[in-house]
Structures are given as C-alpha cells and as structure tokens.
Amino acid sequence: MSTSTPPAVRLLESAIDAGTVPGGIIAHGHDPEPVARGRVAPGAATSPAFPLDAIVRIQSMTKAIQAVAALRLVERGVLALDSPVAPWLPELAAPRVLPSPDADLDRAVPSPTEITLRHLLTCTSGLGIATAEGPLQRAMAQAGLEAGSAPWSLAADEWLAALGALPLAGEPGRVWRYHHSFSVLGILLSRVTGSPLDAHLRADLLEPLGMVDTGSFVPAAQHHRLPPAFTVEDGELVEVEAAGGGPLVGPPSGDVSHGELVSTAADYLCFLRALRDGELLSTDHLAMMTTDQVPSSVKQPDSF
C-alpha cells in the first residue's frame, strides 16, 4: 500500500468502530488492489470478514458511469447537452412547474424552459427528492416515486409516466434536486441507443474495461458475493436485506434502465483509472465532468 492510503483505511475503521457500517472496502487509485476491513454483519465476531470480491450496491456511484456514457454519446453527435430531451422522453414534454416546491399541485403553470441533457447531468431538471413534506412529496410517495435504498418498484416506462404526470419542483436550470434526474438519464440513454441501459453500458464501457461484475443485477450463480443491506433505526444498524438475496439477485422482471448498478471495488477502480487517464472522454468533457457545473444561486440550502 502507498503511504497515502492509511488515512483512508483509518477513516473506514473508525466508521466500523462507531457502528456506522459493518465493513467496507477502500480502493485507492495509486495502489494495485483494494483493501477490505470489517465484517459483513455488525458486532458479530462469527460474521465473515468483508470480502474483497463482494458485489455491492453502488447506488449513487452509478451516476458517474451514466454521466460518462451520456458524454460519450455527445461526442458521437447522438446527443447535445443543451437540446431538449422531450423527443426521446415525451412524458416530459411541456412540463409544468410549481411556483414554490411546497405549493399545491393545482398551482403549477407551464414551464418556460424545457428539460435538457445538461439539466439531467447537473440535477437541475426540477425533478428530484422532495426534502420537505408537502403536496409534491405526498404525491411522489403515493405514486411510488420516493427515492430509497431499495430499487424502484415500477418498471422504467411506468415510472417515467408517473413522474411526468407531476409538476416540477422548480424551473429547469433554477433549482437543484438530487437523484431522479439520473434515473431519467438512464431511460434517456436506453431510448436513444435502443437498448436497455444495462446492455448499452455493457457494450460501450463495462466489457471493454473488463468490468465483469458490474451490471444491473447479481447473477444467481454469484449471489453469495452480495453482502446484506442495512438501514439505521434508533442509531443502530438493522438488516433489511439478507446476504445473497433480494431483488438484485437474478435478471429483473422488467426494464430497470432507471435503476442503479451493482459492482465490485476492483471493477469501479478500473472505471476510475480509465476516466482519470483520458481513455473514456475527450479532455474538454473530462474537465467539464470534474468541475462544479451547478451555479451557486441554484444550490438551495433545503435542496438535499
């Protein structure tokens, strides 16, 4: 290990000691291999050590892979950053926008701005997590659109139709809301390429990079490599999904282009190294991707 890795390992170990996480893996860009610490279950000496080859739910780390996939299509002339996405996503054509995020839904008016790819990539589409209780938050919960650690219960097209039926929290480009823009981006990539997101990512990025354990699900034959999932209740870790089980094992029953990926530390390190070394994007787009693109005026304190 390099001399710069121990602080990161100590940070992980402190989180394990505090009971924040049962275990985890540190993947450092200048070291040849990831490093694992802790166990797959909290507070149990008999629990297996956290394995280096664990296939884990990478959740929002999916966003970087999606962003690269989108920018590669921009470089090929298939997409444009500032063109509306409605030609591929008619569910989002002619969006309506609330005068304020907590306003009654019947106060929505036509948005003067259409949603673009840039809005999706910067989470400024007006779509996203409703952080404050109100009419929009309640409508999203009722429609099965609230974000959580579990996969979406609706298939991609059904999910987008439900999302498009609700107004935006704010005008695109003028509000920042986390999460949902990238679920929409996954569906956009699927429709533009004519393939489910998983298939497009596999052909364009994952297989060329040798990321054999990354995808939208864990193959049934590899289910034993999926650790359990936990949530926090009353300050304690509570298991919500058993090791080797749950909806991410085996091929999904419907289109999950709006979902998140599973991967390994080694696979994700391959992706990050290729991105860092300029193998995936042009210099301009790599610089754009690694620079804050959200204006300070859009970063509301209550947006996440």
The DSSP secondary-structure symbol of 215 reads B
Residues with Cβ within 8 Å of residue 2, at least 6 apart in sequence: 28, 30, 31
Instruction: Determine the straight-line distance between the first and last CA of the chain, rounded to whole angstroms.
Output: 36
Task: Please give the Cα distance from 199 to 185 (Å, whole number).
Answer: 15
Task: Please give the Cα distance from 298 to 276 (Å, whole number).
Answer: 28
Active site residues: 60
**Which residue type does 60 have?**
S
Cβ atoms within 10 Å of 42's Cβ, excluding its own: 19
E strand or H helix at 6? helix 6-17
The answer to whether 91 and 262 are in contact (CB under 8 A) is: no
What separation in angstroms does the CA of 83 have from each of 118, 122, 166, 181, 276?
Answer: 8, 14, 22, 15, 27
Q: Is 97 helix (H, G, I), strand (E, B) or coil?
A: strand
Task: Please give the Cα distance from 297 to 304 (Å, whole number).
Answer: 15
Q: In terms of Cα–Cα distance, which of 298, 288, 294, 257 is closest to 66?
A: 257
Q: In terms of Cα–Cα distance, which of 214, 179, 222 is closest to 198?
A: 214
Cβ atoms within 10 Å of 195's Cβ, excluding its own: 16
Q: In terms of Cα–Cα distance, which of 99, 96, 167, 121 is closest to 281?
A: 121
Backbone angle region of 126, left / alpha / beta, with phi > 0 → left and psi within -120 to 50 → alpha? left
Residue with tokens 């999706």: 120
